[in-house]
Amino acid sequence: MFQCLLLALDETASGEIGLSFATALAREHGSSVHVFHANELILGGRGVAVETSEEASRLVNVAVDRLGEAGVEASGEWTLANRFTLPRRIADAAARSGAGAILFGSHRHRRVHRLFGRGIRERVTRITPLPVLTAPPPLRLGGRRRGPMAEARRLARHADSAMRT
């Protein structure tokens, strides 16, 4: 399918989801993965970033190590970017690494709109000719209205009301 994938990694739970998806996809198709992380510059922070360079480097190194442990050839890099330059940096990293697709992690109805939040994926999609894949978010199960027993409860109510009539 793709010889190389670019994983756009952030420090949130979506980064973990993207890493798991990239690992599975790369193992399935024999692809290599290039991990890309942008340490977000705080707007108006005069060059102050969200993470230290050691934290950003550690995030990339851990992802590359985990991919390697799973038998996936991996490399990585990180850079500084703000929300305005980030889409171009991701597209450029994909072109440099020879990636055939760009992969993002995903959130499910969360209010975290940080590094790869609202608009970044869409802007990357507009500026690159590569396919942009979004890892499927994990399903949240539980509660009375969701979860594995929700359908059984609904059917039981329906059967009970049908028996009464």
Confidence of residue 112 (pLDDT cuts 50, 70, 90): very low
Q: How high is the pLDDT of residue 163?
A: 63
Residue 114 has what pLDDT?
46
| pLDDT tens column, 83-101 | 889 999 999 999 999 999 9
30 pLDDT higher than 80: yes
Neighbours of 18 (CB within 10 A): 25
Q: What is the CATH number of the domain that holds 74?
A: 3.40.50.620
Report the chain's mean pLDDT, rounded to a whole number: 84
**Distance, first Cα to last Cα, the chain:** 56
Q: What band does 141 get if pLDDT is binned at 50, 70 and 90?
A: low
Contact of 60 with 50, CB cutoff 8 Å: no
The domain in which residue 49 lies consists of 4-164
- Residue 135 clears pLDDT 70, i.e. is over it: yes
Count of the separate structural domains present in the chain? 1
pTM of the model: 0.76
Position 88 scores a pLDDT of: 96
What confidence tier does 48 reach under pLDDT thresholds 50, 70, 90?
confident
